[in-house]
Structure 1
Amino acid sequence: MVEVEEKIFTRVDGTERRFTEIVEENIDRVSKSYYTGVATVNDFSNGSMNLFELVNQSDCQYDIEFYMETIKQELLFKYATGDALDDFGAQKGIYREEANFSTSNVLLTLANSLNTPITIFEGTEISTDDTIIFLLAEDVKFEVGQTTANAEIICEEAGSIGNVKAGSINIILTDLPYDLTVTNLNDITDGVDEEDDDSYRDRIVDSHLNYPVGTVKWYEKVAETLVSNAYYHKLSPTNGEIVYKPTSNVTNTDLANLFNQKENDIVNLTINFSPANPRSVIDNGMSIIVHVRSGYSFSVIKTQIINAVSNYVVNLKLGEVFKPSCVGYLCESVEGIQFTQLTGYEEINLENDEYAVIEGDLQVIQG
């Protein structure tokens, strides 16, 4: 083997390409070649001019091959879908978020009390009018004289298909020898679809593994494996601070432990962690006046507006700008709204250590 410094890259097909392989291939090619009028030179010993020139040429070839493989990987990643995209994510330890089954409770009601206790068994099928099927997640026992009972349920199919309005579940599919009715008293909202390709691709691109270790973005992205949003501020060559958006069940200690892990521990750097400060961008003195088209329910529209605006505020990052124009757009995107008026709203520039909150209840008024 020729004594040259080794370097390696991985091809799209997963195989390794080594610099020494290229050098050996070129030595073999030149040694076996014969050109008219040119004698083949076979002295490729260490220190020879032939080896020096061939290594330089091989280095150029290595760079070209590496560049071409990089382009291939970028194109494949850009257009990869399904299992192919999953393979890219797995290489970085990032996995597609799976679908969640929606769960809730229903009220079971007997038309008449019975003289003996009965049990409605786990797995009993119930559904909505449009045949979204749920299963009882537990046995439900009616004692003598008891006519109502609550039961935990789970949707038969994972995903948002199981998110239904209160009162939607009203059919018992399983044949039972009882005069029994069922209803869900509350909206069901916890069903989540499997992460789509676009969202998954964005998370892979946004991973801290795509940023050089020790850069500002690297610190922020590592922290965001635990918290929803973080801002890194370099205080000195040996000290830094990470301000983060408070996240349920995550403490300063959790973040410190994360950065103390071997792969995240930067020598001679001390990091302080601080939760960001809340900044009210909407309060009780501000209101959204909604003018509803005929035939639409204000209460339904109000709920949709509250959800949309609340999500907008929650998803604002540290240091971003709260824009009333975005609130107005979200409101008027709700079906059934003729137009809206915002009262008391103003643009607010959040500092890097501030996150947006709604103080009190969101005031949505019918105009």
Structure 2
Amino acid sequence: MALVDLPDIQFTEQDEQTIMNDIKLFYEGITGISLGRADPAMTVLNTLGKYIILQNVLIDRVAKAELLPFANGPILDYLGYFTKTERLPAAYATTTLRFSLSTALVTSQIIPAGTRVSPDNSEGELYFATVRDVTLSPGQLQIDVAARCLEAGEVGNGFVVGDINTLIDPVPYVQTVTNTSVSGGGADVEDDDSYRERIRLSNDSFTTAGPRDAYIYWAKTASSAILDVQATSPADMEVLVTILLDGGELPTPEIIEAVTSVLNVRKIRPLTDKVTASGPDLVEYDLNMTYYIHEDDVAMEESIKAEIQQAVSDYVIWQRSKLGRDINPSELIRRVMIAGAHRLDQSSLLPLYTPVPGTSVAREVTITLNYGGLSE
């Protein structure tokens, strides 16, 4: 999606006929010789013309790469450097671990920072480590502590409560350990599209007057896992920053804390603003769809069914991947029809169109996909 509504731009001429006409006229003007189509010199000029076209295409690409809407990769990093907007590195998934003792102790028990715990069935290839020392007081049987995946990226996301339970570094008297929250917040290095959008927003970061885009810009600097941000003012001198993570996931407490810390720096937050960061409210919906495939496509029946299944999965991700995106059954129908469905049963089709406020996100509850068979 374009950053702004700008016309297309081309820095060099790339039309073959125009370039060949120019070369021919230039040659005839210098030599005083009029060239026919079959003249031997035209072979040389045609070769030169094709080379000039290649050069013009390359020059055009290089020139466009210096403009924010077209820049990619290292060029985008250089543009970010000029606005002091660095590409966000890969983020580490976080969770909360609960350590439980086998018996109450009469002395304090320290669980040191860096104590590693592995997810069940990970075969020792992935670890979460505690981020700080914690101390169990005499008689205390359990304690919670934040932990971070030792491998950056999405690999540490999605471990549900109880999955991370294998203690790698033994601690005296610790009987069990388990995660009490779903791990999340891990993300790969910031991609070009997200980075480009932050560079565009960076101009608003230079003020502390409290513009909406400034809060969005600074919130996104907290983690490369942040996909979407909304800044609203529920009351005078109050700012609510709503966060959504990559893939439409809800922010973890650690991500919310990181955003809150960033936004409350004195150089960023206006003195009179009370800033709160949180995850979005959920607008839940059920998806129910019965579809039919045309009888002429019977030979491709199984592949079309697989394509439709994928189209529904893609729709669910699309629907949950932006704050304030209305629940739109028309988008579901469009995707399924493109995937090869002949028609849908409109009488039982869900979801219904539902507006979603800007600080909320649509979230599926149940997904029911029925194949009605072949249709004439």
TM-score over 0.5 for the pair: no
Larger Rg: 1
Q: TM-score under structure 2 normalisation?
A: 0.44
